[in-house]
Structure 1
Amino acid sequence: MPGRIRTTGAFAYGAALGLAVDRLVGDPRRGHPVAFFGRTAAAVEQRLHRDDRARGALHTAVCAGTTVAAGALAARAVRNRPAAAVALTAASVWAVVGGTTLGREAQAIGGALAAGDLDVARERLPHLCGRDPQSLDGPAMARAVVESVAENTSDAVVGALFWGAVAGVPGLLGFRAVNTLDAMVGHKSPRYLRFGWASARLDDVAGWPGARLTAVAATLAGGDPRGAVRAWRADAAKHPSPNAGPVEASFAGALGVRLGGTLSYGGRVEHRPVLNGEGRPVEVADIDRAVRLSRRVTAVSLAACVGGRLIVSALSARASKGRNA
């Protein structure tokens, strides 16, 4: 039982501290750990790449597995030192979440749109999402930003917190590794259609619980809770992504806006289903509203993850005591 208390406390304090550091300083401009992982994964890809799923699965296993193993070794090294365990968890949370940078990028684009400077907005949009900026007007860019804020709240923050609550530092680092691999090789291009299949499918599995937690938190974090639930139930399944659907639909309902529709990725036009058809079109001011909702969703999700871990630890301790009685 003392071991469970220590690990639960390390996650609770470490996660809160890591999010606070992210809120204060955001991501470093140079030397980010995720960027280092990306360069390493790209080097491994150069050695392993073949146009088949088996090679892609090996690439995923090597990159993600090594990251999880490194996290497990680090956690084991500090397991009997509470202060060090909190510091390691805080550093890991800060390294894997990107909520502050997400908000800053979104608001920078929103500021350019508000000033009528579409060229600057188009220049910054690729920092946030993979849309073709030249094909978008102001309202379409505002919609793209709100959709990206919603989806990345799950991918860049809540999903990591969930797996940190489940598996500690290895869970935090492993989730971010899988999510980064999906961003690198998981898209349906000729080079990655087969090679990236394993990364894309693993990201779908790893992102599933965090996406649902994000959607639930969006219904509790302000805005229009009934609208969030209604849009989630009615429209989430229409989205081609099993995880982006619940997140974007719940954000659309909470904000009272309409998301989805026609978009362009890499010269390929897609016609996405409309999410929350009862909402109004996205306006530039909705970008700030989406960022504020994202921050509240993060706070609700942190509370849920810490509370869930405390409950599981208490139940496990009770069960252990009952077996030893």
Structure 2
Amino acid sequence: MLICQDTLLIVVAALVFDALIGDPDWLWRRAAHPVVWIGALIGFLDRALNRDQWSPALRKSAGVVAVIVLLTVAVGTGFLLQKILWQTWGSVVVEGLLASVLIAQRSLYQHTARVRAGFAEGGLAAARRAVAMIVGRDPEQLDEAGVARAAIESCAENFSDGVVAPVFWLALLGLPGLIAYKAINTADSMIGHRSARYNSFGWAAARLDDLLNLVPARLAGALIALAAPLAGGSIRTAFKVMRRDAPKHRSPNAGWPEAAMAGALGVALAGPRRYAEGLVEDPYLNAEAPNHATPDDIGGALTLMAAACGFEAVLYAALALLL
């Protein structure tokens, strides 16, 4: 599908619905979220095709097959839904509402805000419990600054993965593009690990996820940088830090929104971090700034994310008006 006005209007509707409604708990307690269905398919493919006795080369090939199956199901589902919905009255609104389920503006804001609220309501212990819900680090190893940095970094990275990227592929390819992206991104989170079980089998999912996020990650960083003045920062500094430090990140994509966030807030992010599998010795992003992030910096990150979401909606609305 080429970008068209109706698709861009669906994007704007999806962003508005997600900002207003998000993921209502009452609904997903009664029905499985689409990501749960995607995860179930990935789990099935993992059990069926990832055999311990197979060679690394065979397991890598099996991982490629798994990704092909996953994409076939995702794209087919998207085309079917799109065909059905285009025949209904108010299809732009209906598709926007459906697409909003796979966008994470409101839920990302809420999860990050819970960490800041944890500091205020229960101190470091409560903040550690809240941050454990959104990062893979050992929360007991984190002091106040470590918890704050983890929350800010998660907010920045997931703004790209959970908001900008799915919206980008929705705008470019409609519902098939959105569902395909969410399928690959979920596969990367489930099987794209450098572990004995997934180093070969998850290779295809991890590399494809990197490819699909190349443009969205850089767009996410730019949107955060443009919002810098709203958190007391400088657009120029945020862009400078992003361009200079993003390539230092171990991920080809996560460094762009994280470095932009670091420059906009005036704090150092990333650096050495301890995960379940051990210590990661990464360089700091914006290393010349203080690395002692505070709960107030989490508030700044939330302001930047909310503003960047608004800029994104305006961008797509403007494109729709131009077509």
Query: 1:297 deviation in Å?
Result: 1.2
Q: Between 272-281 and 15-24, report the one with greater CA deviation.
A: 15-24
Q: Which residue identity lines up with residue 187 of structure 1 in the other structure? A: H
Q: Which residue is 2:175 aligned to?
A: 169
Distance 2:11 2:311 in 1: 13
Aligned-partner Cα distance in 2 for 1:56–1:275: 33
Post-superposition CA distance 1:281-301 (Å, at most 9, x none): 311111111112111112222
CA distance in 1, matches of 2:67, 2:209: 10
SS of match in other structure, 2:283: strand
Shift of 1:116: 5.2
Contact 1:11 1:86 in 2 (8 A): no
Task: Find 1:291's aligned residue among 296, 302, 318.
Answer: 302
1:120 to 119, 126, 132: 126
Q: How many residues align?
A: 307
Aligned to 1:212: 218
List alignment gaps of at least 5 residues for structure 1: 315-325
Match of 1:111 among 92, 110, 117: 117
Residue pair 1:185, 1:195 contacting (<8 A) in 2 also: yes
2:18 aligns with 22
TM normalised by structure 1 equals 0.88
- 2:50 match: 49
Q: Are 1:166 and 1:309, in contact at CA under 8 Å, matched by a contact in 2?
A: no
Q: How many Å separate the matches in 1 of 2:237 and 2:74?
A: 39
Q: Is contact 2:266-2:289 (8 Å) kept?
A: yes
Describe the shift of the 1:16–1:225 C-alpha distance in structure 2 as closer, same or farther (beyond 3 A).
same
User: TM-score, normalised on structure 2?
Assistant: 0.88
Instruction: Tell me which amino acid in the other structure corresponds to 1:261.
Output: G
Q: Which residue of 1 aligns with 2:8?
A: 12
Among 264, 269, 272, the residue aligned to 2:282: 272
Shift of 1:186: 0.6
What aligned pairs does 1:1-325 form with structure 2 within 5 A after superposition? 8-29=4-25, 30=28, 31-50=32-51, 52-79=59-86, 81=88, 83-92=90-99, 94-115=100-121, 117-223=123-229, 224-281=234-291, 282-308=293-319, 314=323
Query: C-alpha distance in 1, partners of 2:68/2:277?
Result: 31
Deviation, 1:193, is: 0.7
**Any idea what the Cα deviations from partners look like across 1:189-246, whole Å, max 9, x if unmatched?**
1111111110000000001110011111122223320111110121111111110111
Verify the 8 A CA contact 2:8 2:317 in the aligned structure 1: yes
Partner of 1:321: none
Q: Distance in 1 between matches of 2:17 and 2:33?
A: 14
Q: Secondary structure at the match of 1:272?
A: coil
- The residue identity in structure 2 corresponding to 1:123 is R
* Residues 8, 319 of structure 2: 8 Å contact kept: no
Q: 2:218–2:253: 8 Å Cα contact kept in structure 1?
A: yes
d(CA) in 2 for partners of 1:285 and 1:79? 46
Amino acid corresponding to residue 262 of structure 1 in structure 2 = P
3-state SS of paired residue (2:271): strand
Percent identity over paired residues: 34
Aligned partner letter, 1:66: V
One-letter code aligned to 1:34? V
State the distance in 1 between where 2:165 and 2:316 align.
10
Alpha-carbon contact 1:34-1:95 (below 8 Å) kept: no
Give the distance between the partners of 1:257 and 1:64, measured in 2 at CA.
39
The one-letter amino acid paired with 1:47 is A
CA contact (8 A) 1:48 1:59 kept: yes
CA RMSD of the aligned region, Å? 2.0
Shift of 1:306: 4.4
Q: What letter matches 1:59 in structure 2? A: A
- For the residues of structure 2 that align with 1:149 and 1:97, how far apart are their CA atoms? 14
| Aligned-partner Cα distance in 2 for 1:262–1:11 | 42
CA distance in 1, matches of 2:318, 2:88: 23
CA contact (8 A) 1:160 1:172 kept: yes
Contact 2:5 2:320 in 1 (8 A): no
Q: Which moved more, 1:300-309 or 1:149-158?
A: 300-309
**SS at 2:198's partner residue?**
coil
1:58-93 alpha-carbon deviations (Å, 9 max, x no partner): 11111122111110122123335561243123311x
Distance 1:230 1:263 in 2: 24
CA contact (8 A) 1:89 1:169 kept: no
Q: Secondary structure at the match of 1:242?
A: coil
